[in-house]
Amino acid sequence: MALSKIKAHDIFEIYTDFRRKGLFTKSLLKPAQSHFGERIVKDGGFNYRNWEPKRSKLAAYVMKGCPNTGIRSGSVVLYLGASHGHTPSYVSDMIGKEGFMFCLDFAPRVMRDLVFLCEARENMAPIMADAHHPETYLDRVSEVDVVFQDIAQRDQAEIFLRNCRAFLKEGGVGLLAVKAKSINIKKDPKQIFAEVRDMIGKEFMITDMRGLEPFEMDHCMIVIKKRPPVEDTPKKESGRNRRRNNNNNNNNSRDSNRRAPVRPRRRR
Ligand SMILES: C[S@@+](CC[C@H](N)C(=O)[O-])C[C@H]1O[C@@H](n2cnc3c(N)ncnc32)[C@H](O)[C@@H]1O
């Protein structure tokens, strides 16, 4: 019997080879397409796309031992700085056909490729907008499970905060790829990473932070969880009150209060 080459990685929706050296995603498209010249490996009736950590900060983060990307099959993702769609194409494999991803970039020169990719991959939608101004795309993006940002701007941390405030659901995960040289070319990257962590940590819970060397120099990934605002945190109740509230709340009001993600209809 032939040995299986591809195995599930410890991280959800990611695969690796039997030497645990390479990263792969299971191709959403059948037959698989190599959008960016990546190697396709067939195994057990599935097609897997090889994912190079030197070309993707998310793959570099996984290679550096990330504990959790927050991205699951069925997740709704806001991807800021989608560019030609290289890393977004792998996220599209990860979230699968039940998931959805808003892919935002402000550069017309990358939009053409991104639009073609979104035509091929139905779980991706392109949005041309400036991530500084979430209010300009509020009507086009729903609440999301994950915000991923890879934008080389001086105020990248502020951009991330604004978008997490506007779109990330409570309990959702945000991943910020920090490029130190874009913030200050003279300062020690470690100091910049610490400053960004402190700034974001005032508002969101930092769950992980790690450098991306040797795959990306002077970059780190900061991961946050959106915690409920303090005033919404349930207070400890006495046993009697808890029983009384449970009896009054048998109508599942918590579920009915949740804002369901609005998935835009694709225009044909
Ligand atoms: C490093 S590239 C992203 C590469 C991509 N994440 C990948 O791995 O395939 C950064 C992208 O961010 C975009 N960008 C920079 N500033 C932006 C802004 N204010 N709003 C939207 N996109 C921006 C650039 O146009 C560029 O395409």
CA angle 140, 13, 116 (to 5 degrees): 45
What would the two tokens of residue 229 be?
Answer: 């605002």
Q: Where are the domains of the chain?
A: 6-51, 57-225
pTM for the whole thing? Answer: 0.86
Rounded to the nearest whole angstrom, what is the distance from the C-alpha of residue 236 to the centroid of ligand 1?
44
CA angle 55, 112, 28 (to 5 degrees): 60
User: Which CATH number describes the domain made up of 6-51?
Assistant: 3.30.200.20
Rounded to the nearest whole angstrom, what is the distance from the C-alpha of residue 59 to the centroid of ligand 1?
16
Residue nearest to atom 7 of ligand 1 (CA): 87
| Predicted local confidence at residue 225, as pLDDT | 97
Residue nearest to atom 13 of ligand 1 (CA): 81
On the question of a common fold for 6-51 and 57-225, the answer reads no
| Predicted local confidence at residue 228, as pLDDT | 60
Mean pLDDT of the region 210-224:
97
Mean pLDDT of the region 192-199:
96
What would the two tokens of residue 175 be?
Answer: 């991943």
CATH architecture of the domain with residue range 57-225:
3-Layer(aba) Sandwich (3.40)
Rg (CA), the chain: 20
- Backbone φ and ψ of 252, nearest 5°: 55, 40
Length of the chain: 268
Does 110 sit in the ligand 1 pocket, CB within 6 Å?
Answer: yes
Instruction: Give the span between the Cα atoms of 48 and 192, in whole angstroms.
Output: 37
Q: How many helices (H) and strands (E) does the chain have?
A: 8, 12
